[in-house]
């Protein structure tokens, strides 16, 4: 009799304790969820607002909120109330207390199963919630939008209390499942943990679980299944505190009282507000966001949401820029020898260039302008679409020269970025002047000069032949001949004059023969070019070096190498380039640092070079480019496994 009265007393105390289940008292509060910056400068975020009774505050409009980004007011562009649903995980951790039967012979698990099945049955036809079920030693269903899947799994499960060992491992698995990405943005997360009383001190595990629940913003609802006196255990107090700290509820189920309505838990979690605004962020780094809500003459402030934001200027990249542009006359130009050469006839007269605009920060946005610079001077500027195409005017370039191309892009925020400088060789093949055209154009003065020159030559020939004698030379002698006064001295003087005239003639002919008449220089065309780059292959350090010979040696010693690379990491004779029928091959000459092509060592039988390859000789980096590239080596992507 005494034992029966003591049992009734414990039952009464338990019912008093269970009459008021523990609910988290959060008060007025708002939470920012699922910040999305991928559409920057427009930023999207979701707002969850609850009153002092943890009920969702609905019916707000854009005039009821103030958005503060880094302390600056930003007006909302979009504001609407949505119903994305809730991500719910039901975790059942059975134990011996689940097998206790009431006066009707129904055990506690069956009563709980009926309660869960009833709530799930009322949700049939709705697919807004993301539902998961996990039972210790039983079925597991992940992320289903059909409540019938969970009802069937609960009906098929058979309780085995003897094999059960309740602990916190199942709750850890449930938190992992609830932390999975939600199918829709703005969904809140919740875990219903139905458990037998865990054994031992739970302090260490409770703190870890509480930290994870808070970090993932998961609400925790705990149903502890056991007799009324279970409420006084240390594990029960720890579980109650865990539920209260994570905005959930705690309830002890002995089988004598009805469980709380599950819909009252999750109905308040299905609504959320969607906010969109145009950001004022203009530099990367740490940012903050907060929203103030005006409701019933009170102001509710969300906690300040801090986040990192990367913002950098756009990076324009030239797509397959030409290494060399050859300007020549059309074939029809040389057919008419009487037509004058015109520099405007050189082809091509313009070069199209294609540009790829990259956004290294991962936030694509509109462009304000793009510009093409050649040798530091602005050549073309695009202020309207298309921004990725340029036309380079080549008409000013009438001689072979090398030029530096650089592209600048300015985005809608005013951030300007310039791409990598690119070297382009403009080769101009100037034709030799056509002598027929020169004669045809300048025939009047040429005819006059020819006549004068002909008369002068004829006169000189007559004088040299003696047919014409200048009067000043033999005047006195002729007078003496006429008078018969010719002497031996006069004859000697005449012979001296004749000898002098013959010597002058011989000297003039020899002087003409010694003249070096100009010869036309034949241009040597390069097979390829070696462009020196920095060690990281990022910065151009010198103009391209033409490769004109069929064999080229590279090294540090000028006596052994035709191309001297003055760097300590290069051997005296380091490598050799040989031109064959199938292309240019590179061979290593037994160097200490080795010869590398695209970061791969050169094979013993040599490596065939292709247009755009990177060559490393020690610390010296060269880019191999062909004068007329046929193909470019395709990039090979290798996935690296992260270290375990």
Phi, psi (degrees; rounded to nearest 5) at 437: -70, -40
In a domain, 613, yes or no: yes
CATH number, domain containing residue 583: 2.60.200.20
Q: Are 123 and 73 in the same domain? A: no
pLDDT of residue 393: 95
The torsion angle over the Cα atoms of residues 115, 121, 123 and 127, rounded to 10 degrees, is: 120
Residue 507 maps to a domain: no
Same domain, yes or no: 163 and 252 = yes
499 found inside a domain: no
335 with 438, same domain: the answer is: no
- Cα 11 to chain center, whole Å? 68
Do both 582 and 601 map to the same domain?
A: yes
At a CB cut-off of 8 Å and minimum separation 6, what does 238 contact? 202, 203, 206
Q: Would residue 4 count as lying in a domain?
A: no
Same domain, 339 and 233: no
- Whole-angstrom Cα distance, residue 24 to residue 244? 4
Instruction: Answer yes or no: do 104 and 145 share one domain.
Output: yes
pLDDT number for residue 232: 87
Q: Quick check: is 503 in a domain?
A: no
The torsion of the CA quartet 178, 182, 183, 188, rounded to 10 degrees, works out to 90
Please check whether residues 167 and 285 belong to one and the same domain: no
Domain boundary among 286, 309, 332: 309
pLDDT value of residue 12:
40
Give the CATH number, domain containing residue 383: 2.60.40.10
CATH code of 67's domain: 2.60.40.1220
48 with 142, same domain: the answer is no
- Compute the distance between CA of residue 138 and CA of residue 378 in angstroms, rounded to an integer: 72
Domain shared by 423 and 550, yes or no: no
Q: Are residues 176 and 258 in the same domain?
A: yes
- Looking at the fold, whether 205 and 67 belong to one and the same domain comes out as no
Check if the beta carbon of residue 365 is closer than 8 Å to that of residue 462: no
Range of the domain at 235: 84-270
Report the pLDDT value the prediction gives residue 27, as an integer from 0 to 100. Answer: 42
What is the predicted pLDDT for the residue at 160? Answer: 86
DSSP 267: G
Residues of the chain with pLDDT under 70: 1-28, 332-341, 431-443, 466-467, 469-524, 537-538, 631-644
Nearest to 190 by CA among 120, 256, 268: 268
Do 218 and 111 lie in one domain? The reply is yes
Q: Using H for helix, E for strand and C for coil, what is the string for 195-235? A: ECCCCCCCHHHHHHHHHHHHHCCEEEEEEEECCHHHHHCHH
In a domain, 235, yes or no: yes
325 in a structural domain: yes
DSSP 229: G
pLDDT at site 458? 82
- Residue 575 near residue 602 (C-beta atoms within 8 A): yes
The pLDDT value recorded for residue 70 is 96
- Confidence (pLDDT) at 443: 64
**Residue 200 belongs to a domain with what CATH number?**
3.40.50.410
How many domains, the chain?
5
Within-domain flag for 523: no
């Amino acid at each position: 009799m005494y034992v029966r009265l003591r049992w009734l007393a414990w039952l009464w105390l338990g019912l008093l304790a269970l009459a008021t289940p523990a609910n988290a008292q959060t008060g007025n509060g708002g939470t920012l969820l699922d910040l999305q910056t991928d559409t920057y400068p427009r930023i999207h975020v979701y707002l969850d607002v609850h009153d002092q009774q943890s009920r969702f505050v609905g019916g707000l409009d854009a005039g009821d909120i103030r958005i503060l980004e880094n302390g600056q007011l930003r007006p909302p562009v979009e504001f609407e109330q949505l119903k994305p649903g809730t991500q719910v995980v039901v975790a059942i951790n059975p134990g011996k207390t689940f097998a206790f039967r009431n006066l009707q012979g129904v055990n506690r698990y069956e009563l709980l199963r009926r309660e869960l099945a009833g709530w799930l049955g009322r949700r049939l036809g709705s697919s807004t919630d993301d539902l998961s079920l996990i039972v210790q030693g039983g079925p597991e269903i992940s992320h289903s939008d059909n409540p019938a899947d969970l009802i069937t799994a609960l009906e098929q499960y058979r309780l085995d209390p003897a094999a059960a060992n309740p602990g916190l491992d199942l709750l850890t698995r449930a938190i992992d499942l609830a932390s999975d990405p939600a199918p829709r943005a703005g969904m809140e997360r919740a875990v219903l943990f139905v458990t037998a009383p865990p054994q031992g001190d739970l302090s260490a595990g409770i703190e870890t679980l509480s930290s994870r629940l808070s970090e993932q913003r998961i609400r925790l609802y705990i149903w502890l299944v056991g007799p009324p006196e279970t409420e006084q255990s240390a594990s029960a107090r720890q579980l109650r505190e865990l539920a209260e700290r994570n905005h959930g509820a705690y309830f002890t189920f002995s089988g004598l009282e009805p469980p709380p309505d599950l819909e009252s838990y999750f109905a308040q979690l299905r609504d959320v507000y969607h906010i969109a605004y145009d950001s004022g962020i203009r530099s990367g780094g740490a940012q903050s966001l907060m929203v103030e809500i005006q409701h019933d003459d009170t102001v509710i402030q969300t906690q300040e949401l801090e986040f990192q934001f990367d913002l950098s200027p756009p990076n324009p990249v030239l797509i397959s820029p030409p290494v060399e542009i050859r300007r020549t006359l059309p074939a029809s130009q040389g057919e008419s020898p009487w037509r004058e050469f015109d520099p405007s006839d050189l082809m091509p007269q313009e070069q199209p260039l294609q540009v790829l605009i990259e956004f290294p920060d991962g936030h694509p946005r509109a462009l304000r302008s793009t510009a093409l610079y050649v040798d530091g001077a602005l050549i073309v500027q695009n202020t309207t679409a298309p921004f990725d195409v340029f036309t380079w005017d080549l008409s000013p370039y009438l001689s072979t020269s090398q030029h530096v191309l650089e592209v600048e892009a300015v985005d809608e925020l005013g951030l300007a970025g310039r791409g990598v400088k690119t070297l382009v060789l403009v080769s101009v093949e100037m034709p030799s002047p056509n002598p027929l055209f020169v004669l045809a154009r300048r025939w009047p003065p040429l005819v006059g000069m020819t006549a004068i020159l002909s008369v002068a030559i004829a006169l000189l020939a007559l004088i040299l032949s003696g047919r014409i004698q200048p009067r000043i030379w033999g005047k006195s002698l002729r007078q003496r001949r006429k008078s018969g006064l010719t002497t031996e001295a006069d004859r000697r003087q005449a012979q001296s004059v004749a000898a002098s005239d013959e010597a002058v003639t011989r000297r003039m002919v020899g002087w003409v023969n010694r003249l070096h008449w100009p010869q036309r220089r034949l241009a040597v065309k390069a097979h390829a070019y070696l462009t020196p780059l920095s060690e990281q292959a990022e910065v151009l350090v010198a103009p391209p070096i033409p490769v004109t010979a069929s064999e080229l040696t590279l090294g540090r010693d000028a006596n052994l190498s035709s191309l001297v690379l003055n760097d300590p990491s290069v051997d005296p004779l380091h490598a050799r380039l040989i031109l064959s029928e199938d292309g240019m091959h590179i061979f290593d000459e037994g160097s200490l640092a080795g010869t590398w092509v695209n970061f791969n060592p050169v094979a013993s039988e040599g490596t065939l070079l292709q247009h755009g390859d990177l060559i490393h000789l020690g610390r010296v980096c060269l880019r191999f480019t062909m004068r007329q590239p046929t193909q470019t080596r395709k990039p090979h992507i290798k996935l690296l496994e992260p270290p375990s």
